[in-house]
């Protein structure tokens, strides 16, 4: 039977080359996108599956309850929570506490390598099965200054030398002894680290003042992480109830952060961390679950459209195979045998498409790897035997699904009726199934095209927006721990440099800094964004002062503050002049005097409304030197690169124009990737819809050639014949436009609603998308109908 199906499939493909090619192109390009998503999904669902008893391992997350009524989930939790769980509850097998403060420059015999990692409990190496190349997990982190390195870190620091027992220095943290080297991991993990040290060192560092209180501070839920391994048979409900009890008892008498009214703790299974929900302080580079779903839905829609094409053309060609089916049934073939014949043909065709789609996948890979998300989520797109097996099963499944409806339809033919001719598959008396599929395709195409146009308009708006401050000819140089007061004079002497200013973190990006402020001692504190700057930085930005002045004397400026207009409202000042000379509080005790008020400007990405802002002066907080220059950009970059080794011989120079840094903030957020992905999907959707329309137009003109010839013989014009052949297709396109346009408007508005400052969706945006599709549809249809209408009536009437 398989042999006969194969022979019949190949014969049918060769007999209908044009229709087969249309189906081949449509299914192949859609399957290539699906194959890409399959690889991504498999990669993301392999995180941390190499740990033994992973089903019993959970992370304890924090849910911060804001006074505003909002909640914010955190992957982190206070370190003393781990101690409380370990000491008071018997249902826990192991507790692991981590701290993310292990970072700095690793120095060894003249080599300096920046590295980061975690302080971890020794139980970390028992609960999580990270293999060792050298050393033992049972002894590697017993002493406070023990250190475990990854293979990559060893290569950077020691080269080919044996690191075991060697002493290295981590700037700001002291000397460490290498007691272990991890082997290459057997799989992916959400833990992203270069090195591991023992949490037993933290109390020593706290006592020295090297780091703030980490081990006993219940309000620090930012830098600590807690994992637990439950005993078998323990209910997660029991553990979550215990966590709620701990939160209530602990925070009942503690002063909380200003914006918070309480905290909750809850379990998060290890297997659901990656992919998983978006959390603040999330570890690693795993892809959020919603993004996988988003990509899967896009691929699914394109795949459905391609299957629609196959279904449409199979049903349309049913007349040409009706007699074949009738003969088979008269000769004894059952309905199930006929059904299996056509399903088998569809599966074989899908497997052929798999080969073409795999070649397209290889062509797509380099482009995908250039997207920001490839680096952000460590996408590798690796293939193995499991992936190939999934590809094959996927192709078989697509073949079954695409061929299911045509096979049911064709196998239902009655032998005597089909020998006289088959009709059309009806959903109702006036609406054919094929028309529904064509309309659906163009509806989806309208949606994709309009959404792409709107998002592109938002991109142009964001990149061209006036942020309210000068960005021209400003170069940001990242100091990487170097003293601004020492770097500033060196940079000021460079040719082409007009002025050098300093700032604590990048303006107009996702970098964030804030503190708690109030006007009077008895007032309630509120959170406000702030930047530490020097006078030159404000001068470089060319901010407009509404009242007061810039920072002046260095010593006096430490007690001064400059506010924006929004901050005046938050503090209750009547106007800018009213604020000058007034005192405000930072926290409960620190007083600052307002010396200036600047006009509001965008200091964060345009997702956010302009909020209250404070500029403060403290050179020790400045981490970026902003250089105003008057020469060529390439010249100033070269001058900075040349002088940088005299400033810092250990780190490579890092710099960017302020304009690029602000633009790159949107790239880092995935904004540019979204438009790239949706644009590509829109292109595929339109291509598939046009291919489907082309196939149906070809079929329609072929089946109506004699009718057109007769009409022309009776005096019909070419234009009349073209309209006759085209009107049903244009009607379906019109229905697709009517259905798709409001959906596209809703989805576009939903997307750009994430931006506080956004474009308006204009009729021109909608009409341009509609016009593009109508033109493409008309060109596709007319490529067949005009040729058929211009054909000689004599030739048309002789057509078989």
Structure confidence by residue, pLDDT tens digits, 248-283: 988 888 877 777 788 999 999 999 998 888 888 888
Q: How far apart are CA 377 and CA 289, in angstroms?
A: 12
Q: Pick the most confident of 295-309, 337-351, 377-391, 607-621.
A: 607-621
Q: Is the pLDDT of residue 63 over 60?
A: yes
644: number of Cβ within 10 Å: 21
Rounded to whole angstroms, what are the CA distances from 387 to 36, 352, 358? 11, 17, 12
Give every CB contact of residue 125 below 8 A, 6+ residues apart in sequence.
137, 138, 140, 141, 148
| CA angle (314, 12, 794) in 5-degree steps | 80
Q: Report the pLDDT value the prediction gives residue 423, as an integer from 0 to 100.
A: 47
Write down the residue that tokens 């709107």 correspond to.
Answer: 454
Domain ranges of the chain: 2-39+289-456+670-798, 54-272, 481-653
Residue 133: left if φ>0, alpha if ψ -120 to 50, beta else—which one? alpha
Q: Is the pLDDT of residue 794 over 90?
A: no
What average pLDDT score do residues 287-298 get? 84
pLDDT tier for residue 573 given thresholds of 50, 70 and 90: very high
Q: Report the pLDDT value the prediction gives residue 430, as an integer from 0 to 100.
A: 44
Q: Report the pLDDT value the prediction gives residue 427, as an integer from 0 to 100.
A: 42
pTM (2 decimals)? 0.82
Q: What is the mean pLDDT of the chain?
A: 85
Q: How far apart are CA 663 and CA 506, in angstroms?
A: 12
Structure confidence by residue, pLDDT tens digits, 481-532: 899 999 999 999 999 999 999 999 999 988 888 898 999 988 888 889 999 9
Give every CB contact of residue 771 below 8 A, 6+ residues apart in sequence.
none
In the chain, what percentage of residues exceed pLDDT 90?
Answer: 42
Q: Report the pLDDT value the prediction gives residue 416, as an integer from 0 to 100.
A: 58
Q: Report the pLDDT value the prediction gives residue 629, as an integer from 0 to 100.
A: 94
Token digits of residue 366 = 């380099």
Q: Report the pLDDT value the prediction gives residue 93, as an integer from 0 to 100.
A: 92
Structure confidence by residue, pLDDT tens digits, 306-323: 888 777 777 766 656 666
Dihedral of CA atoms 701, 702, 704, 707 in degrees, nearest 10, equals 110
Task: Give which of 542, 590, 547 is closest to 565, Cα–Cα.
Answer: 547
DSSP-derived secondary structure letter, 214: -
What average pLDDT score do residues 292-303 get? 86
Q: How far apart are CA 389 and CA 411, in angstroms?
A: 31
Question: DSSP secondary structure string, 265-316?
Answer: EEEEEGGGTSS----BT--S-PPPHHHHHHHHHHHHHHHHHHHHHHHHHHHH
Q: Is the pLDDT of residue 7 over 80?
A: no
């Amino acid at each position: 039977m398989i042999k006969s199906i194969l022979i019949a499939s190949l014969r049918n493909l060769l007999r209908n080359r044009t229709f087969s090619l249309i189906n081949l192109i449509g299914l192949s390009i859609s399957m290539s996108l699906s194959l890409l998503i399959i690889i991504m999904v498999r990669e993301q669902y392999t995180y941390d599956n190499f740990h033994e008893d992973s089903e019993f391992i959970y992370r304890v997350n924090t849910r911060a309850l804001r006074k505003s009524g909002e909640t914010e989930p955190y992957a982190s939790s206070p370190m003393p929570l781990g101690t409380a769980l370990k000491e008071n509850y018997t249902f826990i097998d192991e507790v692991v506490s981590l701290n993310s403060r292990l970072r700095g420059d690793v120095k060894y015999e003249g080599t300096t390598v920046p590295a980061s990692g975690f302080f971890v409990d020794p139980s970390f190496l028992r609960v999580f099965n990270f293999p060792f190349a050298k050393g033992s997990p049972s002894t590697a982190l017993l002493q406070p200054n023990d250190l475990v390195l990854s293979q990559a870190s060893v290569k950077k620091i020691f080269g080919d030398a044996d690191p075991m027992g060697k002493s290295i220095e981590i700037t700001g943290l002291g000397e460490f002894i290498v007691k272990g080297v991890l082997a290459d991991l057997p799989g992916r993990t959400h833990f992203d680290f270069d090195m591991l040290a023992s949490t037993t060192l933290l109390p020593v560092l706290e006592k020295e003042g090297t780091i703030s209180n980490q081990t006993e501070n219940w309000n620090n839920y930012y830098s600590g992480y807690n994992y637990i391994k439950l005993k078998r048979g323990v209910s997660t409900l029991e553990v979550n109830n215990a966590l709620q009890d701990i939160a209530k008892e602990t925070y009942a008498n503690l002063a909380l952060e200003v914006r918070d009214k309480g905290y909750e703790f809850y379990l998060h299974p290890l297997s659901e961390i990656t992919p998983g929900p978006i959390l603040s302080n999330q570890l690693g580079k795993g892809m959020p679950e919603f993004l996988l779903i988003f990509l899967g839905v896009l691929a699914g829609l394109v795949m459905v459209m391609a299957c629609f094409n196959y279904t449409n053309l199979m049903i349309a060609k049913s007349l040409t195979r009706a007699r074949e089916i009738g003969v088979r049934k008269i000769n004894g073939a059952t309905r199930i045998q006929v059904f299996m014949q056509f399903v088998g043909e569809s599966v074989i065709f899908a497997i052929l498409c798999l080969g073409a789609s795999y070649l397209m996948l290889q062509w797509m890979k380099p482009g995908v790897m250039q997207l920001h998300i490839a680096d952000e989520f460590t996408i590798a797109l690796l293939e193995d035997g499991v992936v190939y097996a999934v590809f094959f099963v996927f192709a078989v499944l697509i073949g079954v699904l695409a061929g299911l409806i045509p096979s049911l339809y064709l196998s239902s033919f009655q032998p005597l009726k089909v020998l006289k001719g088959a009709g059309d598959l009806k959903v109702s008396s006036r609406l054919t199934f094929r028309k529904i599929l064509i309309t659906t395709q163009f509806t989806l195409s309208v949606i994709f095209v309009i959404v792409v146009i709107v998002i592109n308009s938002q991109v142009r708006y964001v990149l061209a927006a006036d942020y309210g401050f000068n960005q021209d000819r400003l170069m940001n140089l990242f100091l990487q721990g170097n003293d601004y007061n020492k770097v500033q004079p060196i940079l000021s002497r460079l040719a082409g440099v007009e002025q050098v200013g300093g700032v604590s973190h990048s303006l107009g990006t996702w970098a964030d800094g804030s503190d708690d402020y109030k006007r009077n001692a008895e007032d309630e504190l509120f959170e406000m964004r702030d930047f530490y700057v020097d006078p030159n930085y404000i001068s470089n930005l060319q901010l407009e002062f509404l009242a007061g002045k810039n920072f002046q004397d260095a010593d006096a400026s430490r007690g001064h503050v400059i506010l924006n207009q929004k901050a005046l409202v938050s503090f209750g000042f009547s106007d800018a002049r009213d604020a000058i000379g007034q005192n405000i509080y930072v926290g409960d005790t620190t007083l600052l005097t307002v010396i200036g008020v600047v006009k509001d400007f965008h200091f964060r990405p345009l997702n956010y409304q302009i909020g209250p802002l404070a500029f403060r002066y403290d050179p020790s907080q400045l981490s970026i030197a902003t250089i105003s220059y008057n020469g060529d950009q390439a010249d100033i970059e070269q001058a900075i690169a040349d002088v940088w080794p005299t400033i810092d011989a250990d780190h490579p120079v890092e710099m960017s124009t302020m304009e690029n840094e602000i633009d790159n903030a949107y790239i880092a957020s995935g904004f540019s990737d979204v438009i790239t992905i949706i644009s590509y999907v829109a292109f595929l959707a339109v291509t598939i819809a046009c291919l489907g329309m082309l196939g149906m137009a070809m079929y329609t003109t072929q089946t109506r050639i004699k009718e057109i010839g007769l009409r022309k013989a009776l005096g019909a014009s070419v234009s009349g014949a073209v309209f006759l052949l085209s009107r049903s297709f244009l009607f379906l396109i019109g229905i697709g436009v009517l259905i798709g346009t409001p959906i596209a408007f809703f989805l576009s508005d939903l997307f750009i609603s994430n931006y506080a400052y956004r474009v308006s969706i204009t009729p021109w945006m909608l009409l341009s998308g509609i016009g593009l599709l109508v033109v493409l549809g008309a060109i596709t249809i007319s490529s067949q109908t005009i040729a058929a209408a211009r054909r000689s009536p004599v030739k048309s009437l002789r057509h078989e």
